[in-house]
Structure 1
Amino acid sequence: MKKNWILKGIVLGTVFFISLVLIKPIGISTQFSVLSGMIQTAFQEGIIFKNGKEFYSVVDYYNQDGIAKSIAIPYNFGIVFAIGIFLGGMLGKIFLRKTLEFTEINNLLENDKISRMRLFVGGVLLLFGARMAGGCTSGHMMSGVIQLSLSSIVFTMILFPIAILVQKKVGE
């Protein structure tokens, strides 16, 4: 592991803090709900309606966390953030292709299709659980802890030891 992890942590924490102060807390799982709502409104009219200045939905789930407003006005910080994550991953794949660590992980996944399926299923379960809890790991661990949210602090204290155990098991 490179020695400059402290600098990277400080930069990441600063970005999350600036986002929290200037725009909103960072989190991504809500955008999957927004996307599903956008798809649903393409097939069904009247799902989202405006009452005064606020947006509401006939689907109760969309009435939480500003999802109805994000469905009605999809060009917002959250969707730009989600697209940026996707594009950042693509750019990382293109420009970091030559690095040894990235190549080793990529070769490991290409040779073991079961690992890819496990990663996909694990990601789906993590996302499902995150939406049930009303947040995601980045939302809880970074933005929530910065806001001193008790549920986020408890979540982080439970998730870190589990992540360490899983990493050690996978690394064997």
Structure 2
Amino acid sequence: MKPSWIPKGLFLGFVFFVSILLVKPIGISTQYSVTSGIIHSVVEKDIVVQKGKEYISRIDYYNQDGIARSIANPYNFSMVFIAGVFIGGTLGRIIFLKNKYFIKENEKLEKDSISRMRLFIGGVILLYGARMAGGCTSGHMMSGVMQLSLSSIIFTIVLFPIAIFIAKKVGE
């Protein structure tokens, strides 16, 4: 008997609701912008300055979505979230490798570095497009749809058919 997806979906929805209620919507792509800003601040020390209680930058991009504040104070919920995604994925891979419900990689894909590179480039393009829409895949598809954000709903409606098509092509 296969495990039911309903309790898992309800649990995930609960986690997102609690995150939005207590901290902020879950998303990860902004932290890549913060990381680039942290690297930038090593080269130019005054890229982010504090004025009163606010942090501002002469780079307009850093002044949106709290990026300037996160550059100045990088130890925050989102950086912990990034570490948790990496650690959780690694632990899941190790723990559930032998589980009969764990989806194993396509053997052809494991041996084909060109396919891996195509998938990597596709992921970069997806991340770039999501940032252009003001978020990331997790931010748009989970937190954004939960908040009924129009850009998130459009992103999700466009992404799903494309993702299904690509998944079928890669699986062939």
Deviation at 1:32, TM superposition (A): 0.2
CA distance in 2, matches of 1:15, 1:139: 13
Task: Tell me the TM-score normalised to structure 1 length.
Answer: 0.92
Query: What's the Cα RMSD here?
Result: 1.8
5+ long unaligned stretches in structure 2 = none
Deviation at 1:94, TM superposition (A): 2.1
- Aligned-pair identity in percent equals 65
CA distance in 2, matches of 1:92, 1:63: 36
CA distance in 1, matches of 2:166, 2:102: 20
Partner in structure 2 of residue 153 of structure 1: 153
CA distance in 1, matches of 2:115, 2:76: 35
Partner in structure 2 of residue 139 of structure 1: 139
CA distance in 2, matches of 1:64, 1:26: 17
Larger displacement relative to structure 2 (45-54 or 88-97): 88-97
Deviation at 1:110, TM superposition (A): 2.4
CA distance in 1, matches of 2:62, 2:150: 25
Partner in structure 2 of residue 58 of structure 1: 58
Deviation at 1:72, TM superposition (A): 0.3
CA distance in 2, matches of 1:100, 1:106: 15
Kept in 1, the 8 Å contact 2:109–2:115? The answer is: yes
Partner in structure 2 of residue 84 of structure 1: 84
Residue type of the alignment partner of 2:163: A
Partner in structure 2 of residue 45 of structure 1: 45
Kept in 1, the 8 Å contact 2:31–2:79? The answer is: yes
CA distance in 2, matches of 1:18, 1:110: 37
CA distance in 2, matches of 1:118, 1:2: 32
Partner in structure 2 of residue 171 of structure 1: 171
Residue type of the alignment partner of 1:10: L
Deviation at 1:63, TM superposition (A): 0.4
Alignment size in residue pairs: 172
5+ long unaligned stretches in structure 1 = none
Change (3 A) 1:118 1:101: farther
Kindly provide the CA deviation profile for residues 6-39 of structure 1, in whole angstroms up to 9, marking residues without a partner as x. Answer: 1111111111111011110000000000000111
Deviation at 1:104, TM superposition (A): 3.5
